[in-house]
Amino acid sequence: MQGLIGKKVGMTSLFDENGKNVPCTVLQAGPCVVTQIKTVEKDGYNAVQLGFDDKKEKNTPGAELGHFKKAGTTPRRKVIEFTGFEEGQVKLGEVITAEFFRPDNFVDVRGWTKGKGFQGVVKRHGFGGVGGQTHGQHNRGRAPGSLGASSFPSRVLPGMRMAGRMGNQKVKAISLRVMKLIPEENILIVKGSVPGPKGGYVIITK
């Protein structure tokens, strides 16, 4: 898995070679700095650690400061490991830009969906609610209703759809075609939608 860390900028549309208007997502891909190279001998596995997005030194713990100084770079806000780089492909402190990708490449984009907070069953799972307000029924319109049997099994079974935290989950959009590359601004324009809000971090792999 080779890739870069980036941000979702927003959405737009482009015309393809057939003149069709295609919805697209604009991504900032990099620049990413190689902050660590892990090896089997020292760490037990091969990986390349990349850092993205500047971070103030005053907001960075001392241990992290030393880690970034060893790579000869400033503190980074987002750090991700990639295991698909070949040995010797990149060097410590090297900056990787959006030119790592090419137009007409197909990429996978992982992002974090928008968090909705603690939600009830109607919004979270699409329940219809208990029903009409009759026979003295009060404040039951959006209630979940019965949760299961009584004497057996005398418990709520795992997996029951109930109220809880909604959103803020990692989601992958696969095989998105790179429609356009703007290398001087580290911009990728990919076909289709990408999970997450504007300004949210994404992991772009090929």
**156-171 pLDDT per residue, tens:** 999 999 999 999 999 9
Q: Which of left, alpha, beta for 59 (phi over 0: left; psi -120 to 50: alpha)?
A: alpha
Are 181 and 102 in contact by the 8 Å Cβ rule? The answer is yes
- How far is residue 8's CA from residue 175's CA, in Å, rounded to a whole number? 17
Using alpha carbons, select from 1, 14, 9 the residue that is nearest to residue 177. 14
Q: Is the pLDDT of residue 108 over 80?
A: yes
- Beta strand pairing call for 76-82 and 95-96: unpaired
Q: In the numeric block, which tokens belong to residue 15? A: 């015309």
Can you say how many angstroms the Cα of residue 49 is from the centroid of all Cα atoms in its chain?
17
How does the average pLDDT of the chain come out, rounded?
91
Q: What is the DSSP letter of 149?
A: -
What domains does the chain contain, in order, with CATH numbers? 3-118+171-205 (2.40.30.10), 119-166 (no CATH)
Q: Which amino acid is at 81?
A: E
pTM: 0.84
* pLDDT attached to residue 185: 92
- How far is residue 111's CA from residue 170's CA, in Å, rounded to a whole number? 6
Mean pLDDT of 187-193: 94
Q: Is the pLDDT of residue 25 over 90?
A: yes
Mean pLDDT of 4-12: 95
